[in-house]
Amino acid sequence: MSAVWLRASALVVLALFGSTALGKDKQPTAIVVGGGLAGLTAAVELQDKGWQVTVLEAKPSIGGRSGLAASEWVGSAKLQPTLHAYLERFKLKALPAPEYVRTPGYLIDGRYQSQAELGKSSPSTAEALARFDKSLDDLAASVEDPLNPLTSHTLKSLDAMTAARWLDKLALPPTARALVDQRIRSRYDEPSRLSLLYLAQQARVYRGLPDSEMRAARLPGGSQALAQALGKQLKLVKTNAWVSAIVQEQDKVTVKVGATGYSADYVVLAVPLPALGKINLTPSLTALQNKALKDINYGWRDQMLLKFKKPVWGKARLSGEIFSDKGLGVLWVEPALKGGANLLINLSGDNARLMSAFGDRQMVDQVLIRFDTFYPGAREQFQGYELRRYGKDALVGGAYLAYGPGEISQYWRLWEKPLGRVLFAGEHTDALYPGTLEGALRSGQRAAGQAVDLFAGKSLEPAKPAAKAVAADKDEAKGGKPGFFSKLFD
């Protein structure tokens, strides 16, 4: 063997070994597009694992849809385990809610009534609400696995049907129907726009957990406080950075903000679907993803904080989850740090859509006029407002995902699959808890885990069901009675 050949071979081995070693030692990099709770979670999880992460957020501040509330209601640790794990990590203390706000309240013809009071003043309405709860529970029981809601032809048929059609068949008396409509529209969207299977699947996720677990505590500073705590962990967050394009190449992906390009090994795309539709992707989304972008229904929910000189609602409880028969719901009293009395009102579904043509002040006036009829003098005591109109915000485009009829059958868990080096996160990508803080956080964790697996050369498995989410036992899940579905479909 000649000395020249030996030296050349040694160089090749060195070069090969060197590049492998370099690849192994190279710090993996990620760009997270969107500084809402999902993006921030993905970024923190990746950074914890030694990744170099850059968060790009279009707005001047992080936090996304984490809202207007100065003291937000959160569910119990049983209901929102991921949220509570982060609250614990960042030593954010949620204050237990008093018992009286854990049960829903009703504002009927402007008169506040607790559940117990309603039972006395209008037994027929209370009975009809209980009948609705029981029917929804029967529907939920028919979904054996909420991660797999399409296991039978019958369940697929539920997806083709709207929640409104099912409610029509229940034939609730008018006040009860108005209250049920309000509950569905403020949690998801207008019943006429909602897949019945989605309503059933969501009821299945929370089955066995009493409603009182939903408003178990208040978080001072709201979910914004969590967003800030997550943000503080991160080394590189760029705000006012609207991402217009993402270009994937064989060994990297480049994200465009104006004329600047940021490159990394992976991108976590944590923006709501309407905002995703405005980003130019190369290669483009799949045909199904593009169709989903146009189709998938988002609920509509605007939030307004009305500031009064004093609590014009007197001693009425107005706190917790209050549904009104006149479309004002959910509402609750907020701490007024600068004095006075603050009331947070959510306008949901078509009630909010109808007002989308109004200017901010006009919209507030519409609500004030109604509120003044319930609590005379409210307009005189009114001294200001803050407003979040998520449906009109181009960086959101709605409140949150709320599957419309036929959409689960087409798009179930579509956004959990990566597109090359791009991973999707955001509440809309979580199969169990869409439209919630829990869903946003879980999706960030899932996307970070996927990036780590891809970087390690592993193939991706679909996410496993969270143990707590499928808590109800199998016998319960099979609890659909004979004739239940035939009655439903007549």
Ligand X SMILES: Cc1cc2nc3c(=O)[nH]c(=O)nc-3n(C[C@H](O)[C@H](O)[C@H](O)COP(=O)(O)OP(=O)(O)OC[C@H]3O[C@@H](n4cnc5c(N)ncnc54)[C@H](O)[C@@H]3O)c2cc1C
Which residue in the set 178, 234, 243, 419 belongs to the binding site for ligand X (CB under 6 A)? 243
Q: Quote the least distance from Cβ 67 to ligand X, whole Å.
A: 6
Our finding on whether 296 is near ligand X (CB under 6 A) is: no
Our finding on whether 42 is near ligand X (CB under 6 A) is: no
Our finding on whether 320 is near ligand X (CB under 6 A) is: no
| 264 among annotated binding-site residues | no
Residues 70-99 within binding reach of ligand X (CB under 6 A): 73
Q: Quote the least distance from Cβ 292 to ligand X, whole Å.
A: 16
What's the rounded Cα separation, in Å, for the pair 140 and 203? 5
What's the rounded Cα separation, in Å, for the pair 186 and 183? 5
Our finding on whether 38 is near ligand X (CB under 6 A) is: yes
DSSP E strands in 272-375: the ranges are: 280-282, 301-308, 322-324, 331-334, 341-348
Our finding on whether 301 is near ligand X (CB under 6 A) is: yes
Our finding on whether 31 is near ligand X (CB under 6 A) is: no
Q: Can you tell me whether residue 382 is helix, strand or coil?
A: strand
Q: Can you tell me whether residue 191 is helix, strand or coil?
A: helix
Range in contact with ligand X (rule: CB under 6 A) among 20-28, 52-60, 109-117, 199-207: 52-60
Phi, psi dihedral angles at 76 (to 5 degrees): -75, 170
| 99 among annotated binding-site residues | no
Our finding on whether 275 is near ligand X (CB under 6 A) is: yes
Which residue in the set 64, 191, 391, 404 belongs to the binding site for ligand X (CB under 6 A)? 64
Which residue in the set 70, 94, 203, 440 belongs to the binding site for ligand X (CB under 6 A)? 440
Phi, psi dihedral angles at 311 (to 5 degrees): -70, 95
| 58 among annotated binding-site residues | yes
Phi, psi dihedral angles at 459 (to 5 degrees): -85, 155
| Nearer residue to ligand X within complex by CB, 124 or 240 | 240
User: What are the C-alpha distances in Å from 204 to residues 49, 101, 216, 292, 471?
Assistant: 34, 23, 19, 24, 10
What are the residues whose beta carbons fall under 8 Å from the beta carbon of 196, sequence distance 6 or more?
A: 139, 158, 159, 161, 162, 163, 165, 166, 405
Q: Quote the least distance from Cβ 150 to ligand X, whole Å.
A: 23
Which residue in the set 112, 308, 313, 400 belongs to the binding site for ligand X (CB under 6 A)? 400
Our finding on whether 272 is near ligand X (CB under 6 A) is: yes
Contact 301, 360 (CB under 8 A): no
Which residue in the set 56, 246, 352, 452 belongs to the binding site for ligand X (CB under 6 A)? 56
**151 - beta bridge partners?**
none
Question: Could you tell me where the DSSP H helices lie in 210-348?
Answer: 222-233, 273-276, 287-295
How is residue 262 written in tokens?
């940021």
Query: Which residue in 121, 70, 145 sits closest to 466, CA to CA?
Result: 145
Q: Quote the least distance from Cβ 436 to ligand X, whole Å.
A: 3
Q: Quote the least distance from Cβ 30 to ligand X, whole Å.
A: 15
Query: Contact positions toward ligand X, by CB under 6 A?
Result: 33-39, 56-59, 64-67, 73, 242-243, 270-272, 275, 279, 301, 303, 346, 390, 395-396, 399-400, 426-427, 435-440
Please state the residue numbers annotated as binding site for FAD. Answer: 57-58, 243
Q: Residues annotated in the binding site, as ranges? A: 57-58, 243
